Structure 1
Amino acid sequence: MKTRSVLVKILAVIVIAFGLSAAAVLVLAHRQVQDIIDWSQSKEYGERIAGMLGILDQHYQRLLLTQREEVYRQDFQDMALKALSAAYFHPEELSVQPCIIDADGNPLLHPGKDPLHQALPLHLVTAAQVFEQTFSTATEEQAWAIFQTYAPWGWRVGYIVPLPVKYAMVRDLDQGLAITMLGTIFLAGCVLTLIIRRQLRPVSELTRASLAIAEGRFDLPIQIDGKDEIALLAKQFDRMRTSIHETMAELQSSQAATERERKFLKDLIDAIPDLIFFKDPNSVYIGCNRAFAEGFIGLPPGEIIGRTDLDFIRDRELATLFREKDRETMALGATRVNDEWITLSNGRRILIETAKTPFYHVDGSLGGLIGVSRDVTERRRNEEQLRHLATHDELTGLANRTLLQDRLEQSVHYANRSGRVVAVLLLDLDRFNVINDSLGHDFGDKLLCLLAQRLQQVVREADTVARLGGDEFAVLLAEVADSEDVGMVAAKILEHVAEPLWVDNREVLLTASLGISLYPQDSKDAVTLIRNADLAMYRAKKDGRNSFSFYDPEMNLRVQETLELETDLRQALDREEFLLHYQPKVDLASGAVIGCEALVRWRHPRRGLVPPNDFIPLAEETGLIVPLGAWVLREACRQARRWKEAELPPVSVAVNLSARQFRQGDLPELVADVLAETGLDPHLLDLELTESMVMDNPVKAGRAMLDLKKLGVSLSLDDFGTGYSSLNYLRRFPVDCLKIDRSFIRDVVDDPSGASVVTSVISIAHNLGMAAVAEGVENEDQLRFLASCGCDTYQGYFFSKPIPAEEFVALLQRETLPAGE
């Protein structure tokens, strides 16, 4: 099957070939006809000329017969012309008339005479034979002439025929052929045009579609039916339109998303308070955020783009430095951070931290740099303050533990070369917590600041005074000639500490305990020297306070023993190594056992039975006293419940509470849970609190005791008389019993003042509606004295030491018990 394009080409070739063929036929026909006309005209006019010559010859022969040629020539010639005119000259019939010219070239017979014969070529006029030729007349008309000479008279006889007349038939034929050819070509052109228009309609459709695409309209589908090349092209073109449409839609969507992202990034950058800017490789600004433009430079962003630092910064040297930093950053190809001090227009100097990072185009070429600047003046000030705080005490401004250790290491290093002594003096104020509790922490802080100033005044400038925390201070004596000098400095320090201090118009007297360790005798490293001084300071406290003590290597042995004991103590509860002993409480009037006090004992797997004084303080210090106290409470209640179920005489059980237990807010809940768990009657549980425990915070202690009393338990105030009791608070506390400390009972027989104290405590207890219980009764004289004073109950080794539960059961089963007299 031929395609449209091939058909159009064939049709075009046919039309062109037809046109050329028609033209060739026309030309050939024209030439053939013209040749025929030339031959026929020559023959026709030749015959006419022959006829005319015949007439002339007749008259000439007749003239010869007269034998008077010279006389009658003219006459015979005239007769000949008349005969010729009559025979051949018919103006109404002929469009071409004969022509006779004499020997001189004058026309003898011609309708127009001069106009034509004068234009005859000379050789034609003088020709002696038949001759024909085409020539131009005076009016530029083309004519054809045929002549023959009549020799006797020298006349030229012939015809002059205008070419249009001669070729009239050719012209008519040419016109007909031309009209026919043009008509044929016109018809062929019309047919071809229709065919071409039909064939080119798909091309027009494609052209329309391409123009629409060029105008950005992709919604016009291309619909061309068929299976030829143009139809296939149209289908591909329509697929291309659809693809371009989809691509353009995606591109527009992508451009919209890009624009949204660009706007988001611009808004985001403008929202950042830091100064953000962009520069090209020549350090010319190509963009910035609002903080940089308006907040820092003071110009709109549009007026900054295209300019450099030299246009904004008055300090030319600083601007040049910025440009140099830009070049270095771009040459390095990595982020650089620089700090520069800048003076603002208001005269204020600020520290600017700038991070500059080069960026690159997709092709890898350098695009410029991105800079982020921020005012770090305050941060630098804070950093310096933090660095100071990292090495100094915030309250007093003294060196802290970190700086002390650093300077101690330096001093040890120098002393190692000089051979001199370095001393660490650790100072802890005696009973400073009493001042804090009674006068408040603000008062205590002011007192510590005054003491810090006083300590700095005592030592040399080369020495270091540090506060390690709380009321603990340290003094570093950098280089001392002899260890005896250290003792003199320590005594001087204690002497100055003991001098009165005035805070808020209140005079305060302080004492301190001071421990000393020396380099190189006690240790050669800083950490150990401080630790050894701390051990020596605790020795000074045990020795009576307000004194100093040098480090002794035996202290380390005791510390190691304490650490081992602490480790074992943490595991003792899980290993069930604790047990309770019970010391009976005896009624002085009847001598009956009315209760007992539960005392914890530790059965160590290696040490055996560890005395309470060896592990109770350690448990208090480490916080283990809380879980241990809870175990004691639960085990004592469980044991009392078992005694009641064994139908033994009802006895109450007293449990000592620790300060940590009492300060925790969940003590009433713990007691309630234990009572519910063990099923013990609350009136059989007696909780013993120390005097210092409740006076630490009387208001909070009173609320806790009320909550405990609501449970139905009894409350006893242990070690009464050893602290600083307030009788005003005491009468408000829901206490059932006052326990007289064993230190007063020990001297009642030999010391009248001790006896007076015991008598007073018993009297106070009875006056407040409380029972009085004496602790530590060891002989009969003490028992008689207590009985004489009206004491209600006693306990001590005179009756029984603390015993296991089994022995206590046996004791209860006795029928007769010793009574006081």
Structure 2
Amino acid sequence: MGGDDPDEPVDAPADPAAAAFATSPVGTLVTDHAGVVVDVNHAICRLLGLRRDEVVGRGAMDLVSGQDRHLADAERGRMHAGAAGGRFTCRVVDAAGASRWTRWTWRALAPEGRQPYAVLHVEDVDRASRTLLVSDDLLAAVEDERAALTATLEAIPDGLAIFHAQRDEAGEVVDVRLVRINRTGAAGIPPDRLVGLSVLDYFPESRATGLFDALLDTLRHGRTNRLLIEVGEHGTWPGTFENVVVRIDEDRVLSTFRDVSQARDDAQRLLHAATHDALTGLPNRVLLRDRVEHALQRTAREGHPVAVAFLDLDGFKAVNDTHGHRQGDVLLQEVARRLSDAVREEDTVARLGGDEFVLVLERVGDEAEWRHVHERVVAALARPFLVAGQAVTLRASVGVVFPPKGQTDADAVLGNADIAMYASKSTGKARYTVFTEQHRRRVIDLVALEADLGKALTREEFSLHFQGIVDVTSGDVVGAEALLRWQHPRRGLLSPADFLPAAEAGGLMVDVGAWVLEEALRQAARWRLVARRDCFVTVNVSAQQLVRGDYVRRVRQALAGSGVPSRSLVVEITESQVLPSSASVLDQLRELRDLGVQVAVDDFGTGYSSLSHLATLPVDLVKIDRAFLTDLADSRRSAVLRSAVEMTRAVGATCVVEGIETQEQYDAVRATGARFAQGFLLGRPRPGYVV
């Protein structure tokens, strides 16, 4: 672009655009995306007293004097952070070693399909003749080379428009008129018909959107204005635009504009996806937390109460297992719709995942007001849902909390509602529980118990007690049930009811159950009647053990290690765990029977109590719950007991009646023809039981 001498005259290139660049009196550098100079014009070489080859290849900011390098570094940081442009004043040192003040104006450009680059204009502010960033000579050159400039401007992805100030008699800027635009026009008007128009003429929304005021402010005060302009779909220029307005000189401003409509729509879709549940469209955990937080702030500020309710659908897993996840998803979508209809518009219904929902209820401050909401929720779920052509009725266990004024911790409120929901689950389901601090203390105790349980096996704190099972006809002991006990170092001897919920919650049942199985067989191997195969030992198994899928292997290993015959082992699972059950669980029960192990259903009558279910299960013994032994003087109650025994006999299983505590109960059981009996009357649990 220039000879060896920076003051040597330069022949104008044949290309018009290049000619405008080369002959411009404004010192100009072009850098790549890393800030390395790739081209310069003669004006900048003359300003620095350097040849072109002494500038190209250097970092643009390296031309700045060391005294002002911090200014250059700050601007370089803005470039790398994605800033579109900027201006700063600093000193440069020319070839003779002289320091001079300059004003730098730069702009980052990113043409489509090309590497991004930057254009930097450097003005010598020591010379009055160079105080304007755009001179009249340059303007003339631009006008002479309109075609070349237009082609260059059209290649720039952002829209560019230059406006000229219109002043009144007092010299005050009152309007701006378009001088040039690099787009194919606006609102369908070609560029040549736009030039000379006031911005208000071709873009009436410029006043309402703040663009007109920004143009005037930049001209009057030199401030750079950045604004987001939204024009409705029926506006003059539909879309959403980012505009930056900068002053060129006292009479001209440059306005860049970029259509960000698609980007904004994409951002809104991403935001919605991040804050809403994909299946139901309800707010998810992220948005729920925000809603609860704002509700608590309103309560603190205005005194309006709020209630938060945590819902868990009862029986939903059975729907999923029976009809498949696709039908389960359809059901959840309908549940979401009904819950939304059951509350007011200002309330929030959110889904946390699975079958868990949360309600945030504005202006609900006590249990009386909550009951009205709960009644609507119950009614909404009570109407049958149609799942794969079958009618399904759902209920929900609910925990509700009324945060006190001054509570600001959204996570604590949601946690308390969750705790109350689990309290509902543990006390019968299909009900609601209002959170109290007592519920929290129970959870704290449960967590502490879980921590102690993790150490109980290694510390050998578990033991087994055995309770005999008697043949009703002969009165002989024919078996014994292994019952787990925990000698807690601080709480004393604990029964399973005291710690098994904690073991299940902590996922410890598999390890605990394995220990019970091995220990029960180890002790039973010493019993005389077991050695003769005349009696059996029963061991309880949890659903967690069966779901894991390797229980049969563990049983086989335990039997082999103990020497106990497989027929002398009875595995007990409660009715509520096995009816209904997954195919994998039932397959394992069948494998146990093939191994010679007997299978018993415990607590029969407290769950589904279905003869059709029993008929399809691989069951050898059915243990009838103690609930059937109450009020046996009532003939109807006696008839129910007889029916339960006959039901067991009808499916080919042996009956064991549990919970016998009085002679009257024992006689009543004998009268039914039941085979076996168990209870305190016949023997209490004790360690080291020997039969």
CA–CA distance in structure 2, aligned partners of residues 492 and 340 of structure 1: 45
CA–CA distance in structure 2, aligned partners of residues 680 and 655 of structure 1: 13
Could you tell me which residue of structure 1 aligns to residue 93 of structure 2?
Answer: none
User: Could you give the per-residue CA deviations for residues 414-433 of structure 1, whole angstroms, max 9, x where no partner exists?
Assistant: 32221222221222333333
Contact 2:525 2:531 survives alignment (8 Å) = no
Could you tell me which residue of structure 1 aligns to residue 284 of structure 2?
Answer: 400
1:377 Cα offset (Å): 10
CA–CA distance in structure 1, aligned partners of residues 394 and 407 of structure 2: 31
Could you tell me which residue of structure 1 aligns to residue 382 of structure 2?
Answer: 498
CA–CA distance in structure 2, aligned partners of residues 684 and 544 of structure 1: 35
User: Could you give the per-residue CA deviations for residues 263-311 of structure 1, whole angstroms, max 9, x where no partner exists?
Assistant: xxxxxxxxxxx9444769699xxxxxxxxxxxxxxxxxxxxx9996546
CA–CA distance in structure 2, aligned partners of residues 428 and 522 of structure 1: 28
Select the residue among 803, 811, 819 that pairs with 2:686: 803
Q: 1:751 to 1:392 in 2, by over 3 A?
A: farther
Matched, 1:518 2:402: yes
Select the residue among 624, 633, 652 that pairs with 2:536: 652
1:796 Cα offset (Å): 0.8
CA–CA distance in structure 1, aligned partners of residues 296 and 634 of structure 2: 55
Match of 1:450, SS state, is helix
User: Could you give the per-residue CA deviations for residues 448-475 of structure 1, whole angstroms, max 9, x where no partner exists?
Assistant: 2222222222333332111122222211
Could you tell me which residue of structure 2 aligns to residue 599 of structure 1?
Answer: 483
Q: 1:510 to 1:574 in 2, by over 3 A?
A: same
1:446 Cα offset (Å): 2.1
CA–CA distance in structure 2, aligned partners of residues 726 and 486 of structure 1: 36
1:631 Cα offset (Å): 0.4
CA–CA distance in structure 2, aligned partners of residues 550 and 698 of structure 1: 33
Matched, 1:670 2:554: yes
1:724 Cα offset (Å): 3.0
Could you tell me which residue of structure 1 aligns to residue 105 of structure 2?
Answer: none
Q: 1:562 to 1:448 in 2, by over 3 A?
A: same
Matched, 1:533 2:417: yes
Could you tell me which residue of structure 2 aligns to residue 150 of structure 1?
Answer: none
Matched, 1:583 2:583: no
Structure with the higher fraction of residues in helix conformation:
1
CA–CA distance in structure 2, aligned partners of residues 710 and 733 of structure 1: 14
Select the residue among 456, 463, 486 that pairs with 2:340: 456
2:435 is matched by which residue type in structure 1?
Answer: Y
CA–CA distance in structure 2, aligned partners of residues 547 and 692 of structure 1: 19
Scaled by the length of structure 1, the TM-score of the pair is 0.51
1:673 Cα offset (Å): 1.1
Identity, in percent, stands at: 41
CA–CA distance in structure 2, aligned partners of residues 314 and 649 of structure 1: 90
Could you tell me which residue of structure 2 aligns to residue 742 of structure 1?
Answer: 626
Match of 2:394, SS state, is coil
Could you tell me which residue of structure 2 aligns to residue 81 of structure 1?
Answer: none
Matched, 1:711 2:595: yes
1:572 is matched by which residue type in structure 2?
Answer: A
Could you tell me which residue of structure 2 aligns to residue 608 of structure 1?
Answer: 492
Q: 1:698 to 1:487 in 2, by over 3 A?
A: closer
User: Could you give the per-residue CA deviations for residues 656-706 of structure 1, whole angstroms, max 9, x where no partner exists?
Assistant: 111111122111111111112222222221111233333333643442223
The within-5 A match list for 1:59-138 is none
User: Could you give the per-residue CA deviations for residues 169-227 of structure 1, whole angstroms, max 9, x where no partner exists?
Assistant: xxxxxxxxxxxxxxxxxxxxxxxxxxxxxxxxxxxxxxxxxxxxxxxxxxxxxxxxxxx
Match of 2:527, SS state, is helix
Contact 1:421 1:483 survives alignment (8 Å) = no
Structure with the higher fraction of residues in strand conformation:
2
Could you tell me which residue of structure 2 aligns to residue 690 of structure 1?
Answer: 574
Larger-gyration structure (1/2): 1
CA–CA distance in structure 2, aligned partners of residues 502 and 548 of structure 1: 25
Match of 1:710, SS state, is helix
CA–CA distance in structure 1, aligned partners of residues 481 and 370 of structure 2: 50
1:762 Cα offset (Å): 2.9
Match of 2:573, SS state, is strand
1:320 Cα offset (Å): 7.2
Select the residue among 343, 353, 375 that pairs with 1:469: 353
1:457 is matched by which residue type in structure 2?
Answer: D
Matched, 1:561 2:445: yes
Matched, 1:433 2:317: yes
Match of 1:716, SS state, is strand
Scaled by the length of structure 2, the TM-score of the pair is 0.60
Paired residue total: 469
Could you tell me which residue of structure 1 aligns to residue 293 of structure 2?
Answer: 409
Q: 1:673 to 1:539 in 2, by over 3 A?
A: closer
Could you tell me which residue of structure 2 aligns to residue 781 of structure 1?
Answer: 664
Once the two structures are overlaid, the 10-residue window that deviates more, 548-557 or 576-585, is: 548-557
CA–CA distance in structure 1, aligned partners of residues 319 and 116 of structure 2: 63
Q: 1:544 to 1:522 in 2, by over 3 A?
A: farther
2:280 is matched by which residue type in structure 1?
Answer: T
CA–CA distance in structure 2, aligned partners of residues 646 and 548 of structure 1: 49
Q: 1:697 to 1:307 in 2, by over 3 A?
A: farther
Contact 2:541 2:572 survives alignment (8 Å) = yes
1:459 is matched by which residue type in structure 2?
Answer: V
Match of 2:680, SS state, is coil
Q: 1:540 to 1:640 in 2, by over 3 A?
A: closer
1:713 is matched by which residue type in structure 2?
Answer: V
User: Could you give the per-residue CA deviations for residues 67-113 of structure 1, whole angstroms, max 9, x where no partner exists?
Assistant: xxxxxxxxxxxxxxxxxxxxxxxxxxxxxxxxxxxxxxxxxxxxxxx
Could you tell me which residue of structure 1 aligns to residue 302 of structure 2?
Answer: 418
Contact 2:601 2:619 survives alignment (8 Å) = yes
CA–CA distance in structure 2, aligned partners of residues 448 and 387 of structure 1: 23
Matched, 1:389 2:278: no
CA–CA distance in structure 2, aligned partners of residues 492 and 743 of structure 1: 34
1:798 is matched by which residue type in structure 2?
Answer: L
Could you tell me which residue of structure 1 aligns to residue 174 of structure 2?
Answer: none
1:475 is matched by which residue type in structure 2?
Answer: L
Q: 1:791 to 1:646 in 2, by over 3 A?
A: closer
Could you tell me which residue of structure 1 aligns to residue 641 of structure 2?
Answer: 758
The within-5 A match list for 1:78-477 is 275-277=113-115, 309-310=152-153, 317=160, 384-477=268-361
Q: 1:741 to 1:525 in 2, by over 3 A?
A: same
1:352 Cα offset (Å): 14
Match of 1:488, SS state, is helix
Contact 1:522 1:551 survives alignment (8 Å) = no
Give unmatched runs, 5+ long, in structure 1.
1-273, 284-304, 323-338, 342-348, 354-374, 813-821
Match of 1:574, SS state, is coil
CA–CA distance in structure 2, aligned partners of residues 380 and 777 of structure 1: 73
Contact 2:285 2:352 survives alignment (8 Å) = yes
User: Could you give the per-residue CA deviations for residues 722-779 of structure 1, whole angstroms, max 9, x where no partner exists?
Assistant: 33366456445443222222222344x2344443343234334434443211111111
CA–CA distance in structure 2, aligned partners of residues 567 and 656 of structure 1: 23
1:454 is matched by which residue type in structure 2?
Answer: R
Match of 2:283, SS state, is coil
Could you tell me which residue of structure 2 aligns to residue 793 of structure 1?
Answer: 676
Q: 1:655 to 1:352 in 2, by over 3 A?
A: farther
Contact 2:153 2:182 survives alignment (8 Å) = no
1:413 Cα offset (Å): 1.9
Contact 2:150 2:182 survives alignment (8 Å) = no
1:521 Cα offset (Å): 5.3
Q: 1:775 to 1:424 in 2, by over 3 A?
A: same
CA–CA distance in structure 1, aligned partners of residues 267 and 574 of structure 2: 48
CA–CA distance in structure 1, aligned partners of residues 312 and 323 of structure 2: 19
CA–CA distance in structure 2, aligned partners of residues 652 and 713 of structure 1: 10
